[in-house]
């Protein structure tokens, strides 16, 4: 038996066909365009995400003789999508999680005294990162698109909801609790959409998807819409929660870090949400078929892998992202250079949408290798800051950190990370754990796997990085550089 897993990420769609041993039989990948209409704005065309989905899935299916028995879906979270449920057409581009245009709306709500209540209800904070204020912006600034929402012809969702709607020819308008908990519209204590938050942000509840468990059959793909296949859709989760499932972080205290466009550190906190302190978020990990919810503390870092991409595309210092390791390894340290990759503001634990990227400590002796090394160090420093916040919030230290995502293949980064955290960093053989988690959720729902204990036996270690000496002076310089980068966009 096998499972088709779909990971609709920020820059492209990955599809895997996964066998019952957790092995990847085949894969497909298709990028889609990024649109930057103004400084700080990031948009996607929903139809381009859908076409990338079809292309990636077709490539994966063509790469194996095995016919999948079900499909699991994971996705970039927080991105706001509007579409006509009957036709599948979108009246406007989606506003991506990285987009910063709603900073003013967040300040307005914060100044009105709403943030404490918002955090108690949702586990989140008022930041442009989340879906809800993006919808408020659409309501205020794009009446042509929003009129369809008011008329009931246009529905609202995150990328998972949009893809499932397209897969089922509009029959199902659903999301799971992990995605819902990232919208600012979901009460994580009640496990349901919050009428209070919907009213505050001006979002009609009738336009929102039904919240369903993270594993369990929610509908079938329509063969005319989805590659001639009729498959049960049986797993749904936001990308970071799916990565936790793929990393077998099923018990309280287990943790992982995904190094993607940004980096996201999560620790399983069990069946009760932990108060989100020290710049962290409290979020739903997944909802079981019986309605039970598991939760996590999360530290969301907006730019990590994207900083390496910027070295390649923005500065031209490297020709490919993997070259960053070899270049950085040619110097013993960063030569005093500190890079703060606040290219879209700062996330956890600082939460400053007005911060901007900065490079400090440049001298006549600075070489491109020093900047490459400073970039890898910045990623490790950001994760250390989040890990220390988690220890303060939970009262416990991380026993180890499981890592995945594209940048986790960088051995130098993983070693710097272990040194900075002073705990082991464990990298699995299959690093596409986000898609793997979607496969596990769907397969658990349909009998491919019988339990999480069986799933845990599929996890195999690729390499463990043990901590060495820690450069605390470099981390102190980093902290000072972060403070100097804050509020930069407000200077005019």
* DSSP helix/strand/coil, 238: strand
Distance CA 61, CA 17 (A): 7
* φ and ψ of 92, to 5 deg: -160, 170
Name which of 175, 81, 176, 183 is nearest 126 in CA terms. 183
Contact of 435 with 409, CB cutoff 8 Å: no
Consecutive H or E run containing 311:
helix 305-313
Give the residue among 377, 427, 376 at the shortest CA–CA distance from 400: 427
CB distance 244 to 296 below 8 Å: yes
Report phi then psi at 15, rounded to 5: -125, 135
* Coil, strand or helix at 388: helix
Nearest-angstrom CA–CA distance, 103 and 97: 13
Given this model, what pLDDT does residue 492 score?
Answer: 61
Is the CA virtual torsion 180, 186, 187, 192 positive or negative? Answer: negative
The DSSP secondary structure of 327-379, one letter per residue, reads HHTTSSS-TT-EEE--BTBB-TTT-BTT---EEE---TT--HHHHHHHHHHHH
Per-residue pLDDT, 276: 80
Partners of 175 in the beta sheet? 211
- Inter-residue contact 471 to 333 (CB < 8 Å): yes
Structure tokens at 353: 């949408």
Q: Return the DSSP state at 268.
A: E
pTM, entire model: 0.88
pLDDT of the residue at 157: 97
How far CA 143 is from CA of 133, 146, 156, 240, 314, in Å, comes to 15, 5, 15, 33, 35
Q: Say how far apart CA 258 and CA 74 lie, in whole Å.
A: 14
How far apart, in Å, do the first and last CA atoms of the chain sit? 58
Digits of tens for pLDDT over the chain (492 positions)?
899 999 999 889 999 999 999 999 999 999 999 999 998 899 999 999 999 999 999 999 999 999 999 999 999 999 999 999 888 999 999 999 989 999 999 999 999 999 999 999 999 999 898 999 999 999 999 999 999 999 999 999 999 999 999 999 999 999 999 999 999 999 999 999 999 999 999 999 999 999 999 999 999 999 999 999 999 999 999 999 999 999 999 999 888 998 988 888 999 999 988 888 788 999 999 999 999 999 999 998 988 888 998 999 888 988 888 889 999 999 999 999 999 999 988 988 998 888 999 999 999 999 999 999 999 999 999 999 999 988 887 777 788 899 998 889 999 999 999 999 999 999 998 888 999 999 999 999 999 999 999 999 988 899 999 999 999 999 999 999 999 999 988 776
């Amino acid at each position: 038996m096998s499972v088709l897993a779909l990971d609709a990420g920020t820059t492209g769609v990955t599809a895997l066909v996964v066998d019952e041993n957790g092995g990847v039989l085949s894969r497909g990948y298709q990028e889609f365009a990024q649109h930057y209409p103004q400084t700080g704005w990031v948009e996607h065309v929903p139809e381009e995400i859908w076409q990338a989905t079809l292309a990636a899935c077709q490539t994966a299916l063509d790469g194996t003789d095995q016919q999948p028995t079900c499909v699991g879906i994971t996705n970039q979270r927080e991105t706001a999508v509007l579409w006509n449920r009957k036709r599948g057409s979108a009246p406007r581009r989606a506003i991506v999680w990285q987009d910063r245009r709603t900073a003013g709306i967040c300040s307005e709500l914060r100044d009105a005294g709403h943030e404490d209540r918002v955090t108690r209800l949702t586990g989140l904070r008022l930041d442009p990162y989340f879906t809800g204020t993006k919808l408020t912006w659409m309501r205020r600034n794009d009446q042509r698109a929003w009129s369809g929402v008011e008329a009931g012809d246009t529905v609202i969702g995150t990328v998972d909801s949009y893809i499932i709607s397209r897969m089922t020819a509009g029959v199902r308008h659903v999301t799971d609790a992990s995605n819902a908990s990232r919208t600012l519209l979901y009460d994580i204590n009640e496990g349901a959409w919050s009428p209070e938050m919907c009213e505050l942000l001006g979002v009609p509840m009738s336009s929102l998807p039904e919240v369903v468990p993270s594993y369990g059959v929610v509908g079938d793909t329509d063969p005319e819409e989805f590659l001639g296949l009729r498959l049960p859709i049986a797993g749904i989760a936001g990308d970071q929660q799916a990565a936790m499932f793929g990393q077998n972080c099923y018990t309280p205290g287990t943790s992982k870090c995904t190094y993607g466009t940004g980096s996201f550190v999560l620790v399983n906190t069990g069946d009760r949400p932990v108060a989100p302190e020290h710049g962290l978020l409290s979020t739903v990990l997944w909802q079981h078929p019986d309605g039970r919810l598991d939760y996590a503390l999360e530290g969301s870092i907006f730019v990590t892998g994207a900083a390496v991409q910027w070295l390649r595309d923005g500065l031209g210092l490297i020709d490919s992202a993997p070259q960053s390791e070899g270049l950085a390894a040619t110097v013993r340290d960063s030569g005093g250079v500190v890079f703060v990759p606040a290219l879209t503001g700062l996330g956890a634990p600082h939460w400053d949408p007005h911060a901007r990227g900065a490079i400090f400590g440049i001298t006549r002796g600075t070489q491109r290798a020093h900047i490459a090394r400073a970039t890898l160090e910045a990623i490790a420093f950001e994760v250390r800051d989040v890990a220390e916040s988690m220890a303060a919030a939970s009262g416990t230290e991380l026993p180890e950190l499981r890592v995945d995502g594209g940048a986790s293949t960088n051995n130098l980064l993983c070693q710097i990370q272990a040194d900075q955290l002073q705990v082991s960093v464990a990298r699995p053989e299959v690093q596409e754990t986000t898609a793997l988690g979607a496969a596990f959720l769907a397969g658990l729902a349909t009998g491919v796997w019988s339990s999480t204990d069986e799933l845990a036996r599929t996890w195999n270690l690729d390499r463990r990085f043990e901590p060495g000496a820690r450069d605390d002076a470099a981390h102190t310089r980093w902290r000072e550089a972060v403070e100097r980068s804050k509020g930069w966009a407000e200077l005019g």
